[in-house]
Structure 1
Amino acid sequence: MARKFLYIVAGLVVLVLAMLLAYRIWGMQIMRAVMVPREAFQPLQPLPANAYDDPKMWIARPDQTKDNPALWTPQGAAKLAPPAQKAAVFFIHPTSYVTPLGNAHWNAPLDDAESNATARRFVLSQASAFSAAGNVWAPRYRQANYGAFLTTGAEGDQALAAAYRDVTQAFAAFLKANPTGPLILAGHSQGSRHLLQLVREQVAGKPVADRIAAIYAVGWPISVEADLPALGFPACARRDQSHCIVSWQSYAEPADPSAVVESFERKQGLNGQPRKGTHMLCTNPITGTFNGNAPASANIGTLDARAADKPAHLVAGIVPARCDTSGVLMIGEPVDMGPYTLPGNNYHVYDYSLFWGNVRDDARQRLAAFTKTH
């Protein structure tokens, strides 16, 4: 009986190892098979023109004084005095509509409870880093399904275009509510993709561009040569610089960013030129500089939210940052941040959490630099 039990255990171990090996080798193919919606794309009806006048269309906005996720701060975060002049922060949350096995639409319904709850958690863990610099506005929008990023079919681009139309409406309402003063624009992943298109089409070359203290397009690849020229803002070269763009994509070592590089190189840049052979923008979030290397000791706060029974808290000095020649940000050996590390040691989900304390400080410093000259 004991021997039979050992055989069963050994068999299970072999099965688990085989599954892990298959995931490492065919991880992206498996994800595509499971995550891409199988229904035909259905065009979305436009939202009412005044949709974003309704506070319910915002996950966070400054008049939400009760239970506002953007006002949350983790244990260990220093209490900071308000800046001399607050910014208005427009934050576009990342993809929270993840529905496997084809049981999904290409765009999230606004009343989808699960994706709404996840989006709220993203605002809490990401946008909260900007609340020490200003008032955060984070809209709900009919985001594209996660599967839209895994397909080369037209449906993926159609879903993203539909989501972007909601974002443009939200941005117009944001500007209407904040007609003067400095602005910080931020996003992550899908949110950063929409943000870059928004900057190119709604900000660059327009009067509102003069109000931009900083742009945080985190978790989305940006070509220095093929994207930045169309955006009208340079890459941030130092922490006391304002009116510039910050971006990084986090990987532990050994890293395999091939999926991101493949997607990056497949399409043209925002200036119409090929991205293939160009450099990805990498801002070191610890130093606030273009490229560069920083030891873990300089990281003033990684957000640890792993334990469901304990409050999230900041831990200093555990994650380094080094911009690699590939354009991605290396964080050294894998660190336990939770269960959502992607294939290739991709810490995409944790781009902000890894450096929450430094992002908070970065936004305040760039805002201070901006207000000195405006």
Structure 2
Amino acid sequence: MQKALKIGLWILSSVVLLVVLLVGFGKTAVFAYLAPPATFNMMHAPQAPNYQDDYFWVSHPNKADSADLLPVGIDTTEDYAESPVDVFFIHSTGYVGPGGWNSTMSNKNSEAQSIEYMLTSMASIYNGCCRIYAPHYREAHLHSFISDDLMASSQALDLAYSDVKAAFDYFLTHFNRGRPFMIVSHSQGSAHALRLLEQEVDGQALQQQLVAAYVVGYWLPKDKLSRSFSSIRLCESASQISCIVSYDTYGEGGKLEGRVPHWYASGWEFNTDEQQKSKSIVCVNPLSWRTDLQQASSERHLGAMPVEFKRTPLDMLLARNPGYKFTKLPPITKHLTWAQCQADGRLVIKQQQNNAFANHLDQNNRSYHVLDFSLFYANLRQNAVHRTQSFLQQHP
């Protein structure tokens, strides 16, 4: 009884904390509470991951994790451990504070629940073709993408990238060992993936092993392709290999908002939405696998797969992981939407209403950012298998 009472009082106090922060102090106070310190200090950075330890792989063929799940109705007898191709998956931003500029990678923190969501709704797409490896890394705080302190933001992103590169090196040496591979990423993960492709893959012998890179949920300006890559190109067909798939999803009437950092050989560049427009953002339509501005009809939509996000605002404020583990996936929803690349680089879909894919955040920009993968789950799954087959035919 006393234990139950203590739990009840703790929950009540947590709710009171949330109400006080949001109502009594307002959003400004909440953001200040969640924000990292004013400056970046490497002396306060979390300890680097050791990729010899399985703990620092949130998905691995030798671990039972949510990237292994299959939606209801999709059946396969394939032994993933014997798949001929690997996927190196770089997850997006889950770390929103409070704390330092980079995640401590503790499974007790709220970002661990976000990673669980990402493995389920994103990485699991690729278990039909590939063995999946996803590193735990000291991801940069969300503040790195909105802070006026560009020096601190750059340092936090550099630290995160150093882990991604270390994980990739370990993956190549100890797991991959010359097999074909894909790089799959979302949001912050895509920023690191583009840098990794530029520094470690493009124009090098390793590019011969690259099936494709699905660099999703990030604005990819055309000048990034011309300034950063000598050999890797944008994917313009469903069977093209050693190329990049990139798109960022919006509802009808949506708009580009915010600031998206990109790494170039000269360093990080933090570009506003207006600057991005002048650069022209690229878009590969995941229904047609083309870069033109033609609308691909809903008949080409093979299926979306809804996954419920289990982390609450209170979990974020208290920096806690609610500990929910996905054990099954719902059936896919076919013919949900058409898709069309726009001249400004947005991928626009039919505005979703009264269903599991509705934009519950009701953002002015009508972004479907969190759903970039799950909206096109079956199309991406089929295409990953198709590109794998195309690669293996060309490299018997």
TM-score normalised by the shorter chain: which range applies? Answer: 0.7 to 0.9
Stretches of structure 1 that go unaligned for 5 or more consecutive residues are 1-18, 20-26
Paired residues of 1:228 and 1:235 also in contact (CA < 8 A): no
Report the counterpart of residue 142 of structure 2 in structure 1.
Answer: 146
**In the alignment, does 2:334 pair up with 1:316?**
yes
Paired residues of 1:302 and 1:319 also in contact (CA < 8 A): no
Paired residues of 2:182 and 2:212 also in contact (CA < 8 A): yes
Q: RMSD between aligned alpha carbons?
A: 2.9
Task: Provide the aligned length of Structure 1 versus Structure 2.
Answer: 337
Report the counterpart of residue 285 of structure 1 in structure 2.
Answer: 286
Of 338, 352, 355, 2:373 maps to 352
Matches within 5 A, 1:111-190: 111-113=106-108, 114-153=110-149, 154-176=151-173, 177-190=175-188
Name which structure has the greater RCO, CA cutoff 8 Å, separation 6+: 2
Matches within 5 A, 1:1-374: 36-43=35-42, 44=45, 47=48, 51-64=50-63, 67-79=64-76, 81=78, 86-99=84-97, 103-113=98-108, 114-153=110-149, 154-176=151-173, 177-231=175-229, 232-259=231-258, 263-264=259-260, 277-291=278-292, 292-306=294-308, 311-335=329-353, 336=355, 337=357, 339-340=360-361, 342-374=363-395
User: For the residues of structure 2 that align with 1:190 and 1:238, how far apart are their CA atoms?
Assistant: 26
Report the counterpart of residue 17 of structure 2 in structure 1.
Answer: none
The Cα offsets for residues 131-152 of structure 1, whole Å up to 9 and x where unpaired, read as: 1111000000010111111113
User: For the residues of structure 2 that align with 1:216 and 1:290, how far apart are their CA atoms?
Assistant: 14
Question: CA 1:34–1:234 in structure 2 vs 1: closer, same or farther (change >3 Å)?
Answer: farther
Paired residues of 1:36 and 1:150 also in contact (CA < 8 A): no
**1:40 deviation in Å?**
2.9
**1:81 deviation in Å?**
5.0
The Cα offsets for residues 26-57 of structure 1, whole Å up to 9 and x where unpaired, read as: x9x99976754344322136636xx1111111
- What is the TM-score with the length of structure 2 in the denominator? 0.77
Secondary structure of the structure 2 residue equivalent to 1:300: coil
Paired residues of 1:283 and 1:290 also in contact (CA < 8 A): yes
User: For the residues of structure 1 that align with 2:276 and 2:366, how far apart are their CA atoms?
Assistant: 24
Question: CA 1:240–1:125 in structure 2 vs 1: closer, same or farther (change >3 Å)?
Answer: same
**1:267 deviation in Å?**
6.6
Q: Percent identity, aligned pairs only?
A: 27
Secondary structure of the structure 1 residue equivalent to 2:212: strand
Question: CA 1:56–1:226 in structure 2 vs 1: closer, same or farther (change >3 Å)?
Answer: closer
The Cα offsets for residues 294-331 of structure 1, whole Å up to 9 and x where unpaired, read as: 11221111112349899533101112211011101001
Question: CA 1:149–1:342 in structure 2 vs 1: closer, same or farther (change >3 Å)?
Answer: farther
The AA in structure 2 aligned to 1:369 is: S
